[in-house]
Amino acid sequence: MTADSRIRQALDRAIELGERGIAVAAYHRGELIVEAVAGADSDTLFPIFSVTKGVTATAVHLQAERGLVDLHAPIARYWPEFGTYGKEKVTVEQALSHRAGIPQMPDGVTPELMADWDWMTARIAEFTPVYEPGTANAYHVLVWGWILGEVVRRTDPAGRSFDRFVAEEICAPLGITDFHLGVPDADLPRVAKLHGGNEFSIVDEHNISPRAVFPGSDVHNQRTVLQAVDPGAGAVATAGAVARIFAMLAEGGTLEGARLLSPERVATFARPRENAHDPDKVLTIPVWFGANGFWLGGEEGASDPLVGDHRDIIYSPGAGGSLAWADLRDRVAVAICHNDMDTPAVVEPERTFAPVVRAIREIVNERERR
């Protein structure tokens, strides 16, 4: 679609502020209102890191919607091998909300081993919690994806791999072709080269984000990683594809006639996790997180102000700054992807995404007044 001149100017400003390649897409009331790129081709695919978590959480909730997963049940009900060494009572909701107590990655992990689903899940099943499950907020930076992804895989009557499940149960109904958990060979030339982002500020005394698989450009430019199925931090997509998934959430679980979730279930996504005000033991920034797998808006000093200022907002930020959100009240969904992972550190005179978000809000406000 042709970008509004304000979006084009905002993207140009983002480039001036330091972005190399940036893409944005936005929906309002289920209608695509913005889709534009600067510093990259229109079909460029961007690694989106933990923005992936919002899609993986959606996959878990699809299974819950179908009665195949009880969020309050132990993971071991669906994955018996997981129920060992103190993890017997860890629930699906505790994993979704980063309170499972196992934020670590397996010892000796490499990009090649991380790409081996069976190796990863077998090692995770042998974990001993480093925090008592259900007692501590501890962001599961990388391992989160395999924990929840295996729950989805184990409860899928068709026994599909997690990437196939997402492709067939989320992307296909929404008409999405440019969201990848494992980039096909033919699409590798479309992937934006990442720059920077190799210093991530976390507390890592428990091998939570080991250097060998660190979520930065050194690791995520590697073909092995681009083609791995990593449900916590490994999706590669266009901004349009990500925004479309979040638009479905902003519309209460439906988009253009395709219903994936009930409005009642989506409404629960804005519920804070247990002991939500407790500091996170892994992330050094304030964290306002939900019970159901999403970061939440509306908490002053903790929520990202770019996504809005009220409680009915769910969002997923990624390492290096990529961001997607769904405003459940105002029915707005936005995804912003980029490839310079150091630009989020640029805050003066303003964040690089700020002009883009302002332009989107102007367009939405105009539409609201009609």
2: pLDDT strictly greater than 90? no
pLDDT digits (tens, 9 = 90+) for 115-154: 999 999 999 999 999 999 999 999 999 999 999 999 999 9
Q: What's the chain's average pLDDT?
A: 97
| pLDDT over 90, % of the chain | 95
pLDDT digits (tens, 9 = 90+) for 332-362: 999 999 999 999 888 889 999 999 999 999 9
| CA dist list (Å): 57 to 22, 109, 310 | 25, 24, 21
Written out in words, the top-level CATH class of the domain with range 5-369 is: alpha beta
pLDDT attached to residue 345: 81
Type of residue found at 42: S
Q: Where are the domains of the chain?
A: 5-369
pLDDT attached to residue 202: 75
User: Is the overall model pTM greater than 0.95, yes or no?
Assistant: yes
Decide if 52 contacts 256 (C-beta within 8 A).
no
Nearest of 364, 362, 336, 354 to residue 39 by alpha carbon: 336
pLDDT attached to residue 370: 87
Tally the C-alpha atoms within 13 A of residue 41's C-alpha that lie toward its C-beta: 8
Nearest of 254, 237, 311 to residue 29 by alpha carbon: 254
When pLDDT is averaged across residues 11-26 and rounded to a whole number, the result is 97
| Confidence band, pLDDT 50/70/90 cuts, at residue 1 | low
Report DSSP state, residue 73.
Answer: S
